[in-house]
Amino acid sequence: MRVHSECLTGDILGSLRCDCGAQLEQALAAIAAEGCGAVVYLRGQEGRGIGLGHKIRAYALQEAGLDTVDANTAQGLPVDSRSYGVGAQIVGDLGIRRLRLITNNPAKYGGLDGYGLDIVGRVALPVVETPHNVRYLRTKRERMQHDLVLAADGAG
Ligand SMILES: Nc1nc2c(ncn2[C@@H]2O[C@H](COP(=O)(O)OP(=O)(O)OP(=O)(O)O)[C@@H](O)[C@H]2O)c(=O)[nH]1
């Protein structure tokens, strides 16, 4: 089961600044290979909840040296305002009660817990690391506690 946060730039336009598009593709492929599963695509979560306009402004701040966390707070916005209650209810509405969750994000795992869903495991997504997204990935690991192993530690 994949609960995916909307990312217009990564999912639709194929931006290399984040790994969202790659993660969506990986999740779809993993579910296809398994022969069962679902992707719930959560609209309204663009930019970890700040919206597309603010995310584009965050990109300008990142060009000036801020990381993805500080580029949110510099705009007076929360680092991550996503909640997963609606996602959990959609999962339940699909008739799914017992699942393995495809994510590297502990907050997502915790956020889906407790809605009558039995989350029996986590499926880690292999990291698709490029020179363009390595700083983004490192910030996810170091400041947002994502469970990521990066090959390029020490680079970039
Ligand atoms: N604020 C901000 N949000 C971003 C940026 N790049 C991508 N996003 C958003 O980040 C969200 C994805 O969250 P992540 O924390 O990258 O990963 P995740 O989906 O929570 O974790 P996984 O389940 O492991 O994929 C999407 O809503 C994207 O729109 C950025 O530079 N700044």
Distance 56 CA to ligand 1 centre (A): 13
Interface ipTM: 0.97
- Parse the chain into domains and list their residue ranges: 2-144
Active site residue 147: no
- Tens of pLDDT, residue by residue over 100-135, are 999 999 999 888 988 989 999 999 988 989 999 999
Distance 20 CA to ligand 1 centre (A): 7
Classify domain 2-144 at the CATH class level.
Answer: alpha beta
Distance 44 CA to ligand 1 centre (A): 12
* Predicted local distance difference test score (pLDDT) of residue 156: 41
Q: Which residues of the chain have pLDDT under 50?
A: 155-156
CA nearest ligand 1 atom 31, residue: 68
**Residue to substitute in 2, 3, 7 for testing ligand 1 pocket (most ligand atoms within 8 angstroms of CB):** 7
Q: Report the 10 Å Cβ neighbour count for 19.
A: 25
Tell me if 144 sits within 8 A of 79, measured CB to CB. Answer: yes
DSSP secondary structure of 102-156: E-S-HHHHHHHTTSS-EEEEEEPPPP---TTTHHHHHHHHHHH------TTTT--
